[in-house]
Protein backbone atom coordinates (compact mmCIF):
# COMPACT_ATOMS: atom_id res chain seq x y z
CA UNK A 1 0.00 0.00 0.00
CA UNK A 2 2.79 2.36 0.94
CA UNK A 3 4.62 1.57 -2.29
CA UNK A 4 1.52 2.38 -4.30
CA UNK A 5 1.18 5.70 -2.51
CA UNK A 6 4.80 6.55 -3.24
CA UNK A 7 4.49 5.66 -6.91
CA UNK A 8 1.35 7.73 -7.15
CA UNK A 9 3.03 10.83 -5.76
CA UNK A 10 5.99 10.43 -8.08
CA UNK A 11 3.73 10.38 -11.06
CA UNK A 12 1.77 13.41 -9.89
CA UNK A 13 4.30 15.74 -8.35
CA UNK A 14 7.75 14.66 -9.46
CA UNK A 15 10.55 13.12 -7.44
CA UNK A 16 11.33 15.73 -4.73
CA UNK A 17 8.24 15.31 -2.48
CA UNK A 18 9.21 11.65 -2.30
CA UNK A 19 12.22 12.53 -0.20
CA UNK A 20 9.96 14.03 2.47
CA UNK A 21 7.82 10.97 2.74
CA UNK A 22 7.60 8.05 5.03
CA UNK A 23 11.15 6.71 5.16
CA UNK A 24 11.98 8.79 8.18
CA UNK A 25 8.44 9.10 9.53
CA UNK A 26 6.58 6.44 11.46
CA UNK A 27 3.38 6.48 9.40
CA UNK A 28 3.85 5.88 5.68
CA UNK A 29 0.31 6.57 4.56
CA UNK A 30 -0.06 10.11 5.81
CA UNK A 31 0.81 12.49 2.97
CA UNK A 32 -0.73 15.94 3.36
CA UNK A 33 -0.61 18.04 0.21
CA UNK A 34 -1.29 21.69 0.85
CA UNK A 35 0.79 24.37 -0.81
CA UNK A 36 -1.50 27.10 0.57
CA UNK A 37 -0.17 26.43 4.08
CA UNK A 38 2.98 28.47 3.54
CA UNK A 39 2.39 31.68 5.58
CA UNK A 40 1.17 29.72 8.61
CA UNK A 41 4.15 27.40 8.47
CA UNK A 42 6.73 30.19 8.64
CA UNK A 43 5.22 31.43 11.91
CA UNK A 44 5.04 27.92 13.25
CA UNK A 45 8.71 27.42 12.51
CA UNK A 46 9.78 30.58 14.30
CA UNK A 47 7.93 29.37 17.37
CA UNK A 48 9.63 26.02 17.03
CA UNK A 49 13.07 27.59 17.12
CA UNK A 50 11.97 29.73 20.09
CA UNK A 51 11.69 26.52 22.08
CA UNK A 52 15.27 25.62 21.19
CA UNK A 53 16.61 28.80 22.82
CA UNK A 54 14.26 28.82 25.83
CA UNK A 55 16.33 26.63 28.15
CA UNK A 56 17.06 29.60 30.42
CA UNK A 57 13.34 30.26 31.04
CA UNK A 58 11.94 29.53 34.51
CA UNK A 59 10.80 25.97 35.23
CA UNK A 60 8.30 27.17 37.82
CA UNK A 61 5.20 26.44 35.75
CA UNK A 62 6.42 22.98 34.82
CA UNK A 63 7.30 22.13 38.42
CA UNK A 64 3.91 23.41 39.56
CA UNK A 65 2.22 21.11 37.06
CA UNK A 66 4.15 18.10 38.34
CA UNK A 67 3.45 19.03 41.97
CA UNK A 68 -0.28 19.19 41.21
CA UNK A 69 -0.23 15.62 39.84
CA UNK A 70 1.89 14.33 42.73
CA UNK A 71 -0.55 15.86 45.22
CA UNK A 72 -3.50 14.30 43.37
CA UNK A 73 -1.95 10.85 43.65
CA UNK A 74 -1.21 11.44 47.35
CA UNK A 75 -4.80 12.50 47.93
CA UNK A 76 -6.00 9.34 46.18
CA UNK A 77 -3.90 7.25 48.53
CA UNK A 78 -5.34 9.08 51.55
CA UNK A 79 -8.83 7.76 50.81
CA UNK A 80 -8.15 4.14 51.78
CA UNK A 81 -5.82 5.36 54.53
CA UNK A 82 -8.64 7.36 56.09
CA UNK A 83 -11.01 4.41 55.81
CA UNK A 84 -8.75 1.67 57.17
CA UNK A 85 -6.67 3.69 59.61
CA UNK A 86 -8.45 6.79 60.91
CA UNK A 87 -6.18 8.79 63.21
CA UNK A 88 -5.02 12.40 63.84
CA UNK A 89 -2.10 12.05 61.40
CA UNK A 90 -4.50 11.14 58.60
CA UNK A 91 -6.87 13.90 59.72
CA UNK A 92 -4.26 16.63 59.45
CA UNK A 93 -2.75 15.20 56.24
CA UNK A 94 -6.22 15.13 54.73
CA UNK A 95 -6.84 18.72 55.81
CA UNK A 96 -3.59 19.86 54.19
CA UNK A 97 -3.96 17.82 51.01
CA UNK A 98 -7.61 18.73 50.45
CA UNK A 99 -6.98 22.43 51.00
CA UNK A 100 -3.94 22.56 48.73
CA UNK A 101 -5.58 20.46 46.01
CA UNK A 102 -8.61 22.75 46.09
CA UNK A 103 -6.42 25.86 46.14
CA UNK A 104 -4.47 24.81 43.09
CA UNK A 105 -7.61 23.59 41.35
CA UNK A 106 -9.48 26.87 41.80
CA UNK A 107 -6.26 28.60 40.77
CA UNK A 108 -6.48 26.86 37.40
CA UNK A 109 -10.13 27.85 37.05
CA UNK A 110 -9.20 31.49 37.74
CA UNK A 111 -6.38 31.33 35.20
CA UNK A 112 -8.88 30.11 32.62
CA UNK A 113 -11.61 32.66 33.18
CA UNK A 114 -10.06 35.77 34.75
CA UNK A 115 -8.21 38.05 32.33
CA UNK A 116 -6.07 41.08 33.05
CA UNK A 117 -3.38 41.63 35.64
CA UNK A 118 -5.33 43.58 38.30
CA UNK A 119 -8.40 41.32 38.16
CA UNK A 120 -6.17 38.28 38.45
CA UNK A 121 -4.32 39.76 41.42
CA UNK A 122 -7.57 40.48 43.28
CA UNK A 123 -8.96 37.02 42.52
CA UNK A 124 -5.74 35.31 43.59
CA UNK A 125 -5.66 37.27 46.84
CA UNK A 126 -9.27 36.27 47.52
CA UNK A 127 -8.48 32.64 46.81
CA UNK A 128 -5.45 32.73 49.09
CA UNK A 129 -7.59 34.15 51.89
CA UNK A 130 -10.24 31.48 51.34
CA UNK A 131 -7.71 28.65 51.36
CA UNK A 132 -6.06 29.98 54.50
CA UNK A 133 -9.40 30.17 56.31
CA UNK A 134 -10.30 26.69 55.02
CA UNK A 135 -7.08 25.16 56.32
CA UNK A 136 -7.41 26.99 59.63
CA UNK A 137 -10.99 25.81 60.01
CA UNK A 138 -10.15 22.20 59.21
CA UNK A 139 -7.22 22.19 61.65
CA UNK A 140 -9.45 23.77 64.31
CA UNK A 141 -12.01 21.04 63.64
CA UNK A 142 -9.35 18.34 63.90
CA UNK A 143 -8.05 19.75 67.18
CA UNK A 144 -11.19 20.84 68.99
CA UNK A 145 -13.77 18.53 67.52
CA UNK A 146 -14.07 14.91 66.38
CA UNK A 147 -11.72 15.18 63.36
CA UNK A 148 -12.37 14.65 59.64
CA UNK A 149 -12.31 10.83 59.55
CA UNK A 150 -14.64 10.51 62.54
CA UNK A 151 -16.90 13.23 61.16
CA UNK A 152 -17.47 11.34 57.89
CA UNK A 153 -18.01 8.09 59.79
CA UNK A 154 -20.59 9.75 62.04
CA UNK A 155 -22.33 11.43 59.12
CA UNK A 156 -22.66 8.13 57.29
CA UNK A 157 -23.90 6.21 60.32
CA UNK A 158 -27.03 8.37 60.54
CA UNK B 1 19.17 9.63 3.07
CA UNK B 2 18.74 12.10 5.87
CA UNK B 3 21.83 13.99 4.71
CA UNK B 4 20.37 14.36 1.23
CA UNK B 5 17.15 15.58 2.77
CA UNK B 6 18.89 18.23 4.86
CA UNK B 7 20.86 19.51 1.88
CA UNK B 8 17.65 19.93 -0.04
CA UNK B 9 16.05 21.64 2.93
CA UNK B 10 18.90 24.12 3.32
CA UNK B 11 18.44 25.19 -0.27
CA UNK B 12 14.84 26.00 0.63
CA UNK B 13 13.54 23.63 -1.99
CA UNK B 14 10.11 22.73 -0.69
CA UNK B 15 8.44 24.99 1.89
CA UNK B 16 5.07 23.31 1.79
CA UNK B 17 5.96 20.34 3.99
CA UNK B 18 6.78 21.32 7.60
CA UNK B 19 7.56 17.73 8.77
CA UNK B 20 10.84 17.04 10.51
CA UNK B 21 12.96 19.67 8.77
CA UNK B 22 11.56 22.32 11.15
CA UNK B 23 14.48 22.64 13.50
CA UNK B 24 17.02 22.57 10.71
CA UNK B 25 15.28 25.28 8.72
CA UNK B 26 15.16 28.11 11.25
CA UNK B 27 17.99 27.80 13.69
CA UNK B 28 18.87 31.38 12.84
CA UNK B 29 15.43 32.85 13.69
CA UNK B 30 15.39 35.33 16.59
CA UNK B 31 13.22 34.53 19.67
CA UNK B 32 10.17 36.77 20.34
CA UNK B 33 10.62 39.81 22.61
CA UNK B 34 7.38 39.57 24.64
CA UNK B 35 6.11 36.78 26.86
CA UNK B 36 2.99 34.78 26.16
CA UNK B 37 1.39 36.40 29.20
CA UNK B 38 2.03 39.91 27.83
CA UNK B 39 0.65 38.96 24.45
CA UNK B 40 -2.45 37.50 26.04
CA UNK B 41 -3.07 40.53 28.23
CA UNK B 42 -2.66 42.82 25.21
CA UNK B 43 -5.17 40.68 23.31
CA UNK B 44 -7.80 40.88 26.06
CA UNK B 45 -7.21 44.59 26.67
CA UNK B 46 -7.62 45.35 22.97
CA UNK B 47 -10.82 43.34 22.83
CA UNK B 48 -12.42 45.19 25.73
CA UNK B 49 -11.20 48.59 24.49
CA UNK B 50 -12.72 48.07 21.05
CA UNK B 51 -15.83 46.60 22.69
CA UNK B 52 -15.66 43.60 20.42
CA UNK B 53 -18.59 41.19 20.68
CA UNK B 54 -17.68 37.61 21.53
CA UNK B 55 -18.46 34.89 19.02
CA UNK B 56 -21.20 32.47 20.12
CA UNK B 57 -19.73 29.30 21.58
CA UNK B 58 -21.74 27.40 24.18
CA UNK B 59 -25.01 28.23 22.43
CA UNK B 60 -23.99 26.91 19.03
CA UNK B 61 -21.42 24.15 19.53
CA UNK B 62 -22.80 20.62 19.65
CA UNK B 63 -22.48 19.13 23.15
CA UNK B 64 -20.55 15.88 23.31
CA UNK B 65 -20.00 13.37 26.12
CA UNK B 66 -16.35 14.37 26.66
CA UNK B 67 -17.37 18.04 26.79
CA UNK B 68 -20.10 17.43 29.36
CA UNK B 69 -17.82 15.25 31.44
CA UNK B 70 -15.10 17.86 31.39
CA UNK B 71 -17.30 20.68 32.64
CA UNK B 72 -18.93 18.36 35.20
CA UNK B 73 -15.43 17.50 36.43
CA UNK B 74 -14.75 21.19 36.87
CA UNK B 75 -18.17 21.79 38.42
CA UNK B 76 -17.78 18.99 40.96
CA UNK B 77 -14.29 20.23 41.77
CA UNK B 78 -15.40 23.78 42.44
CA UNK B 79 -18.51 22.56 44.27
CA UNK B 80 -16.60 20.18 46.54
CA UNK B 81 -13.99 22.83 47.25
CA UNK B 82 -16.75 25.28 48.16
CA UNK B 83 -18.41 22.71 50.40
CA UNK B 84 -15.15 22.02 52.23
CA UNK B 85 -14.55 25.74 52.69
CA UNK B 86 -18.09 26.22 53.96
CA UNK B 87 -17.61 23.35 56.40
CA UNK B 88 -14.32 24.81 57.65
CA UNK B 89 -15.92 28.24 58.06
CA UNK B 90 -18.83 26.72 59.95
CA UNK B 91 -16.40 24.89 62.22
CA UNK B 92 -14.76 28.21 63.07
CA UNK B 93 -17.96 30.21 63.51
CA UNK B 94 -20.59 27.91 65.02
CA UNK B 95 -20.52 27.59 68.82
CA UNK B 96 -21.54 23.96 69.30
CA UNK B 97 -19.67 20.77 68.38
CA UNK B 98 -20.16 18.61 65.31
CA UNK B 99 -22.09 15.74 66.99
CA UNK B 100 -24.53 18.30 68.37
CA UNK B 101 -25.41 19.63 64.94
CA UNK B 102 -25.53 16.13 63.50
CA UNK B 103 -28.05 15.08 66.14
CA UNK B 104 -29.98 18.27 65.43
CA UNK B 105 -30.33 17.35 61.74
CA UNK B 106 -31.14 13.75 62.66
CA UNK B 107 -33.87 14.84 65.05
CA UNK B 108 -35.69 16.44 62.14
CA UNK B 109 -36.48 12.82 61.14
CA UNK B 110 -36.35 13.43 57.44
CA UNK B 111 -36.95 9.78 56.56
CA UNK B 112 -34.71 7.11 55.05
CA UNK B 113 -35.36 7.96 51.42
CA UNK B 114 -34.29 11.56 51.75
CA UNK B 115 -31.29 10.56 53.83
CA UNK B 116 -30.34 8.08 51.12
CA UNK B 117 -30.82 10.75 48.51
CA UNK B 118 -28.64 13.17 50.47
CA UNK B 119 -25.94 10.54 50.81
CA UNK B 120 -26.10 9.89 47.08
CA UNK B 121 -25.94 13.63 46.49
CA UNK B 122 -22.76 13.83 48.55
CA UNK B 123 -21.20 10.63 47.25
CA UNK B 124 -21.74 11.25 43.54
CA UNK B 125 -19.62 14.42 43.15
CA UNK B 126 -16.82 12.82 45.16
CA UNK B 127 -16.93 9.57 43.15
CA UNK B 128 -17.19 11.28 39.78
CA UNK B 129 -14.40 13.73 40.55
CA UNK B 130 -12.18 10.92 41.85
CA UNK B 131 -12.70 8.56 38.91
CA UNK B 132 -12.45 11.27 36.28
CA UNK B 133 -9.38 12.54 38.12
CA UNK B 134 -7.77 9.13 37.62
CA UNK B 135 -8.75 9.38 33.94
CA UNK B 136 -7.00 12.76 33.79
CA UNK B 137 -3.90 11.31 35.41
CA UNK B 138 -3.86 8.58 32.73
CA UNK B 139 -3.97 11.33 30.09
CA UNK B 140 -1.07 13.04 31.84
CA UNK B 141 0.88 9.81 31.40
CA UNK B 142 0.03 10.01 27.71
CA UNK B 143 -2.44 7.15 27.66
CA UNK B 144 -5.93 7.00 26.27
CA UNK B 145 -6.05 9.94 23.87
CA UNK B 146 -7.59 8.15 20.91
CA UNK B 147 -11.21 9.15 20.47
CA UNK B 148 -12.73 5.65 21.00
CA UNK B 149 -10.61 5.35 24.17
CA UNK B 150 -11.80 8.76 25.37
CA UNK B 151 -15.40 7.65 25.02
CA UNK B 152 -14.77 4.20 26.51
CA UNK B 153 -12.99 5.53 29.59
CA UNK B 154 -15.61 8.26 29.85
CA UNK B 155 -18.52 5.80 30.00
CA UNK B 156 -16.53 3.68 32.47
CA UNK B 157 -16.10 6.68 34.76
CA UNK B 158 -19.82 7.51 34.59
CA UNK B 159 -20.80 3.91 35.28
CA UNK B 160 -18.36 3.47 38.14
CA UNK B 161 -19.45 6.76 39.68
CA UNK B 162 -23.12 5.79 39.71
CA UNK B 163 -22.41 2.33 41.09
CA UNK B 164 -20.06 3.61 43.79
CA UNK B 165 -22.46 6.37 44.81
CA UNK B 166 -25.37 3.93 45.05
CA UNK B 167 -23.24 1.53 47.06
CA UNK B 168 -22.14 4.30 49.41
CA UNK B 169 -25.70 5.60 49.77
CA UNK B 170 -26.93 2.18 50.83
CA UNK B 171 -24.13 1.67 53.38
Task: Check whether residue A16 and residue A85 sit in a common domain.
Answer: no
Sign of CA dihedral B67, B86, A61, A90: negative
For residue A26, CA distances in Å to A15, A29, A87 come to 20, 9, 53
Please give, rounded to a whole number of angstroms, the shortest distance from the CA of B89 to a CA of chain A.
Answer: 6
Q: Is residue A2 scored above 60 in pLDDT?
A: no
Give the CATH architecture of domain B66-170. Up-down Bundle (1.20)
Per the CB < 8 A criterion, the answer to whether A43 and A55 are in contact is no
Q: What is the pTM of this model?
A: 0.72
Q: What is the pLDDT of residues B100-139, one digit of tens each?
A: 999 988 888 778 888 899 999 999 999 999 999 999 999 9
**CATH at residue A112:** 1.20.1300.10
Q: Which of chain B's residues have a Cβ under 8 Å away from the Cβ of A145?
A: 91, 97-98
For residue B105, what pLDDT is reported? 86
Q: What is the pLDDT of residues A131-153, one digit of tens each?
A: 999 999 999 999 999 999 999 99
Q: Do B98 and A146 touch (CB under 8 A)?
A: yes
Among candidates B162, B132, B75, B150, which has minimal Cα distance to A72? B132
Task: Check whether residue A147 and residue A91 sit in a common domain.
Answer: yes
Percent of chain B clearing pLDDT 70 (strictly above): 81
Q: Where does a domain end: A29, A46, A63?
A: A46
Q: Which of chain A's residues have a Cβ under 8 Å away from the Cβ of B171?
A: 156
Among candidates B131, B4, B129, which has minimal Cα distance to B76? B129
Which residues have C-beta within 8 Å of that of residue B140, sequence separation ≥ 6?
Answer: A69
Q: How many domains does chain A have?
A: 2
Neighbours of A45 (CB within 10 A): 18
Q: Please state which of the ranges A46-55, A61-70, B62-71 shows the lowest mean pLDDT.
A: A46-55
Q: What is the mean pLDDT of chain A?
A: 79
Q: Tell me how far apart the alpha carbons of residues A110 and A120 are, in angstroms, rounded to a whole number.
A: 7
Task: Check whether residue A36 and residue A84 sit in a common domain.
Answer: no
Q: Tell me how far apart the alpha carbons of residues B170 and B118 are, in angstroms, rounded to a whole number.
A: 11
Q: Which of residues 124-153 of B touch A (CB under 8 A)?
A: 130, 133-134, 137, 140
Amino acid sequence: MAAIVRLGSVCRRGVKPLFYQSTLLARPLVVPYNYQEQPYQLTAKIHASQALYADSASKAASLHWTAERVLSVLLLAMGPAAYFNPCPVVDYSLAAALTLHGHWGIGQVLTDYVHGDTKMKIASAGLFLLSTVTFAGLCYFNYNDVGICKAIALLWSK
Amino acid sequence: MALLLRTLARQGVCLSRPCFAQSVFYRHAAPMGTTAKDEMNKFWAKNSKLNRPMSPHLTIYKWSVPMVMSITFRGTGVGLSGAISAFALAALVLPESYPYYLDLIHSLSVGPYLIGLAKFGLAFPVSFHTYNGIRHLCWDLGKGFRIPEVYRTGYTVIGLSIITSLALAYL
